[in-house]
Each structure stands twice: as structure tokens, then as C-alpha cells.
């Protein structure tokens, strides 16, 4: 099991000389990450998560997951951004998009509190009708609007159905000591798990934030952490961009950005990796998109999107490059059937494994797109085990931190997400002089 960066499709786009010139910066950035001497160093706790910093809590997570798997038909996970993207990515990566329809042991897992859509809430309420339900609410402060609103609604539902027994079915992942949600949990007797102080949301999938829902899905979180540990050991080595693929990925991205390639398209050939791409978008977009700089993260699922965005990627405004996850084993085997009449003319692929056809499409596309002037970074990943997912997570997290420092930004803050929140609170009438003043100025604008 491994991750390898294949640079065959970068010929003519990124030279050895350019990479060599980036090597010093990359090594310095890695050192800055490892010794915690850079901007945002209060948020480096993610580096240690694969080593299971709190064994007691980890044991509690495993035992809560076992209990939840017996207690309910449906686990509703309430969280937004980093509080759900990692768990959803892991579950779909390992168990596929049809998991909830096909699962035989263990609960369905639904995600709520990730938007303000009345449709999401009302449909989720219909989906859990007559079912036994547990909640896992994930929010550092407990006051983030989307999950807080969802929690009000689903808590009410639980209390109506279970009365005092609801408390035994509500699991809370929040601040270790402070905050409204921690207070409420202590009063009500909800079991709680800790969102670490030194781990930002987008780096939190290997913390209790991700571990509890992932374990509830029946995924071996020990194996996932082992994969992350393997990646940590391998990619933390201060060798060079030519020997450490994590540094290489970070370096290539910055070389390409320097050449005006300001959009990165993460591509895979498996629909089950779509949520992993969403997780990756938050990781890179929030970490690097600041100070009017950074690479816009987009994603596609091929071959599906070759029939929609393929034209643009091949021949549109050339400001993008692709990073392709080449999955060696998709976890399923099926042959293209032989058809005696050959009515579609496709017998030249009959009896081939479908996945081999899929990987041939990948090679064909990489060559076509590079011919069209689009650089392709390829990440070869073994398969869809928890171990593979853990490796991939740590690879991307470490590369992101390194890449952010190469770019010269603080990869661990997100100052730009406050602007809309302040406006929203002002418009919604949140009490406070700050909001009153802002509201007056916004109302003026909206006239």
C-alpha cells in the first residue's frame, strides 16, 4: 500500500531545473511545519493525530461507536465544513456512494446541519420517521448557525420520541471545557468527545471529529490511523523534492501557479472519491486562498465529466492543471460481456476487466490533455481500504501545510470567512452594538 507521484505527464510543463530551484523553499517549508516555527503554529496538532494522542478518549470512541451501531437504524451526524467533510469522504471512499441503500450491519448515516435548506431538514425528518436514531453533533463552539439550528430541530424530535432516554442517544463532539454546547452536554448528560484546540476544522478528520462517525460506519479506524502513520513516517523526511513525493506535489503546484496556472482540478475515475475531492477543496482552498493569491480548487469525476468539462479542460482558457488520483484497485471486479452479435462494435474490449478499461481511459486522457497544454500530476493510490484513505489524508494535509508556507501564507487561518457571517448576524438581528452598526450600513446598501 502506497502513494506515488507519477511525473510522466509533466514533461514540458515543469522542468528539473524549476523543481531544483523550488527544493530549498520546500525543505524550509517542511522544516517550518515540523519544528512549528511558522505562522499559525498554534494549529499544528494535526501532525500528531495519527499517533493517537489521547488513548483513553480513543477507547471511548470505539466503545461509543459499538454502542451506537447497536442502538440505532440511523445515525444523524450534525456538522458543517471540517466537521463533516472528512467523515463523509472516508465513508464514501471506503464504502461507496450507495452505502446507505446497501448496508446490512450497522446504521445508515445521514449528514445534517451542513446547510440552511428547509428541504434538507424536512426530507431528513421524513427519512428517519419510525426509525431508531442517534445523533452526533460536532461543533467546537456550539453556536455555528447551521449545526445549531439542525440540533434544535433534531433534539426536539429525539426528546419527543425518547423522553429522558434521548440523552443516551446524543453524542457531542465539542470543546473540551468551554462553550455553550459543552455546558449543555454536561447539564443533560450527553457523552462528549473533544475537538482539539490546536487542530483546525479542515485538518480534523483524524481527530474525534472524524473518528466517531467513521467508526460508526463500521470502518476500521485503527487501520486508517496506521495508514496515516505510514504516510507521516514516509513523507516527513527532509530529503528533497526528488525523493519525497509530498514535497514534490507542494513544489510542483507552486511552480505551476507561478506560471499562471491558478486552477487545480482534482480528478478521479471513481464516483466514490467525489467527497474526498470536496474535503480536499476545503483543505487547499481555505489554506491557500488568501491575500488575493492561491490556486482555485475544482474537481471532476471522470469519465463522466469528460463528457461535460472535457472540452474546456482540453481546449479552454489555459489557466488550469489537473491532479489525477489513479486508483489501482477499485474494490470490484466485473468483465465487459462478450456479445455474439457485436451490435455495438465493442467486442474489442469484451472480456476485459472494466477497471482496466477505466484505467486505459485515464492514460488516454492524460496524454490528450497534456497534448492540449494541460499539465497532469498523477497520484497513484493502491485501493479503497481505510489504510489507503488514512495515507491519502496525511499526504494531502502535510503537502498543504508545506505548499502554504512555500506560497508565503498562513495555511492555518481563514480570516475571509468571517465577512459574510458578520453581515448575516447583522441582517438577522443578532443583539450587540457591533451588529447594530453594521446592520444600519447594510440596510443602506440594500435600498
Q: Which active-site residues does the annotation give?
A: 286, 307, 421
Site pattern 174..213 for its own copies (x: CB under 8 A): ------xx-xx----------------xx-----------
Backbone angles phi, psi at 421, to 5 degrees: -65, -45
Residues 108 and 73 sit within 8 Å (Cβ to Cβ): yes
The answer to whether residue 383 forms part of the interface with its own copies (CB under 8 A) is no
Q: Which is nearer to its own copies, 52 or 110 (CB)?
A: 110
Cβ distance to its own copies smaller for residue 114 or 229:
114
Which of 25, 47, 88, 114 binds its own copies (CB under 8 A)? It is 114
Distance of CA 344 to the CA centre of its chain: 40
Beta carbon of residue 162, minimum distance to its own copies (angstroms, whole number): 17
**Are the beta carbons of 237 and 244 closer than 8 angstroms?**
yes
Contacts of 296 (CB under 8 A, 6+ apart): 262, 263, 264, 285, 289
Residue 82 cell numbers, joined: 471540517
Based on the shown chain and the rule CB under 8 A, indicate whether residue 427 belongs to the binding site for its own copies: yes
- Ranges assigned E (strand) in 56-167: 74-78, 108-112, 133-138
What DSSP designation does 53 have? S
Burial degree of 359 (CB within 10 A; 0-12, 13-18, 19+) = middle
Q: Which is nearer to its own copies, 105 or 344 (CB)?
A: 344
Q: Is 106 in the site for its own copies (CB under 8 A)?
A: no
Residue of 59, 233, 346, 440 interacting with its own copies (CB under 8 A)? 346
| 121 binds its own copies, rule: CB under 8 A | yes
Beta strand 296-301 with 263-268 is parallel
Q: What are phi and psi of 243, to 5 degrees?
A: -115, -25
Residue from the set 353, 380, 382, 383 that interacts with its own copies by CB under 8 A: 353
DSSP 331: S
Residue closer to its own copies, measured from CB, 70 or 319: 319
349 lies in the site for its own copies, by CB under 8 A: yes
Q: Does 6 bind its own copies (CB under 8 A)?
A: no
Q: Residues 263, 298: contact at Cβ < 8 Å?
A: yes
Taking CB under 8 A as the binding criterion, the range among 16-24, 60-68, 141-149, 160-168 that sits at the site for its own copies is 141-149
297 to 316: interface string for its own copies, x by CB under 8 A: xx--xxxx-xxxxxxxxxxx
Task: Single out the residue of 271, 326, 328, 380 in contact with its own copies (rule: CB under 8 A).
Answer: 271
b/e per residue, 312-336, with b = 16+ CB within 10 A? Answer: ebeeeeeebbbbbbbbeebeeeeeb
Indicate the angle between helix axes 16-35 and 245-258, nearest 10 degrees: 120
Residue 380 host element (H or E): strand 376-381
Q: Toward its own copies, which CB reaches closer, 84 or 235?
A: 84
* Residue 98 interacting with its own copies (CB under 8 A): yes
Q: Is 12 in the site for its own copies (CB under 8 A)?
A: no
Q: Is 408 in the site for its own copies (CB under 8 A)?
A: no
By CB under 8 A, tell whether 371 contacts its own copies.
Answer: yes
Residue 336 binds to its own copies (criterion: CB under 8 A): yes
- Are 252 and 259 spatial neighbours (Cβ–Cβ below 8 Å)? no
Strands across the sheet with 191-194, in order? 108-112, 74-78, 133-138, 170-174, 191-194
User: Which window, 30-38, 63-71, 169-177, 340-348, contacts its own copies (CB under 8 A)?
Assistant: 340-348
- The distance of Cα 60 from the centroid of its chain, to the nearest Å, equals 24
103 binds its own copies (CB under 8 A): no
Q: How far is the CB of 189 from its own copies (least distance, A)?
A: 14
From CA 38, how far away is CA 44, in angstroms rounded?
10
How far apart CA 195 and CA 208 sit, in angstroms, is 7
**Which listed range, 51-59, 169-177, 230-238, 333-341, lies at the site for its own copies (CB under 8 A)?**
333-341
Using the contact rule CB under 8 A, the part of the chain among 41-49, 230-238, 394-402, 422-430 near its own copies is 422-430
Q: Which of residues 217-246 bind its own copies (CB under 8 A)?
A: none
* Sole binder of its own copies in the list 269, 321, 395, 412 (CB under 8 A): 269
How many CB atoms sit inside 10 A of residue 155's CB?
18
Which residue from 291, 408, 437, 440 is in contact with its own copies, where contact means CB under 8 A? Answer: 291
Distance of closest approach, residue 54 Cβ to its own copies, in angstroms: 26
Find the shortest distance in angstroms from Cβ 393 to its own copies.
16
73 near its own copies (CB under 8 A): no
Amino acid at each position: 500500500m502506497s502513494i506515488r507521484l507519477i511525473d510522466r505527464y509533466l514533461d514540458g510543463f515543469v522542468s528539473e531545473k524549476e523543481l531544483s530551484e523550488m527544493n530549498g523553499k520546500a525543505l524550509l517549508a517542511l522544516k517550518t511545519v515540523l519544528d512549528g516555527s511558522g505562522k499559525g503554529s498554534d494549529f499544528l496538532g494535526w501532525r500528531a493525530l495519527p499517533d493517537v494522542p489521547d488513548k483513553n478518549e480513543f477507547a471511548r470512541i470505539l466503545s461509543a461507536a459499538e454502542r451506537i451501531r447497536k442502538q440505532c437504524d440511523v445515525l444523524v451526524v450534525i456538522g458543517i465544513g471540517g466537521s463533516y467533510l472528512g467523515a463523509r469522504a472516508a465513508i464514501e471512499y471506503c464504502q461507496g456512494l450507495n452505502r446507505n441503500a446497501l448496508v446490512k450491519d450497522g446504521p445508515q448515516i445521514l449528514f445534517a446541519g451542513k446547510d440552511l435548506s428547509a428541504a434538507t431538514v424536512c426530507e431528513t425528518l421524513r427519512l428517519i420517521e419510525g426509525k431508531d436514531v442517534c445523533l452526533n453533533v460536532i461543533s467546537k463552539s456550539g453556536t455555528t448557525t447551521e449545526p445549531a439550528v439542525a440540533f434544535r430541530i433534531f433534539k426536539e424530535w429525539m426528546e419527543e420520541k425518547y423522553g429522558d432516554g434521548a440523552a443516551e442517544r446524543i453524542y457531542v463532539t465539542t470543546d473540551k471545557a468551554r462553550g455553550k454546547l459543552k455546558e449543555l452536554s454536561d447539564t443533560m448528560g450527553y457523552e462528549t468527545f473533544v475537538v482539539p484546540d490546536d487542530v483546525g476544522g479542515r485538518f480534523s478528520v483524524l481527530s474525534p471529529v472524524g473518528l466517531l462517525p467513521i467508526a460508526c460506519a463500521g470502518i476500521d479506524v485503527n487501520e486508517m490511523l496506521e495508514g496515516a502513520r505510514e504516510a507521516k513516517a514516509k513523507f516527513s523526511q527532509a530529503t528533497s523534492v526528488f525523493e519525497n513525493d509530498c514535497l514534490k506535489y507542494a513544489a510542483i503546484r507552486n511552480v505551476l501557479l507561478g506560471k499562471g496556472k491558478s486552477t487545480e482540478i482534482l480528478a478521479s475515475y471513481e464516483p466514490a472519491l467525489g467527497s474526498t475531492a470536496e474535503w480536499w477543496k476545503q483543505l487547499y482552498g481555505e489554506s491557500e486562498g488568501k491575500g488575493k493569491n492561491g490556486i482555485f480548487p475544482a474537481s471532476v469525476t471522470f469519465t463522466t465529466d469528460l463528457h461535460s468539462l472535457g472540452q474546456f479542460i482540453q481546449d479552454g482558457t489555459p489557466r488550469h492543471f489537473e491532479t489525477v488520483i489513479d486508483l489501482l484497485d477499485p474494490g470490484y471486479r466485473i468483465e465487459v460481456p462478450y456479445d455474439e452479435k457485436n451490435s455495438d462494435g465493442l467486442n474489442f474490449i469484451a472480456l476485459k476487466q472494466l477497471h482496466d478499461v477505466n484505467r486505459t481511459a485515464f492514460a488516454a486522457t492524460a496524454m490528450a490533455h497534456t497534448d492540449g497544454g494541460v499539465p497532469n500530476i498523477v497520484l497513484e493510490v493502491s485501493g479503497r481500504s481505510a489504510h489507503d484513505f488514512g495515507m491519502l489524508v496525511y499526504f494531502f494535509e502535510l503537502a498543504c501545510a508545506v505548499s502554504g508556507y512555500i506560497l508565503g501564507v498562513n495555511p492555518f487561518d481563514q480570516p475571509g470567512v468571517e465577512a459574510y457571517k458578520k453581515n448575516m448576524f447583522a441582517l438577522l438581528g443578532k443583539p450587540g452594538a457591533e451588529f447594530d452598526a453594521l446592520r444600519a450600513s447594510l440596510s443602506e446598501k440594500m435600498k
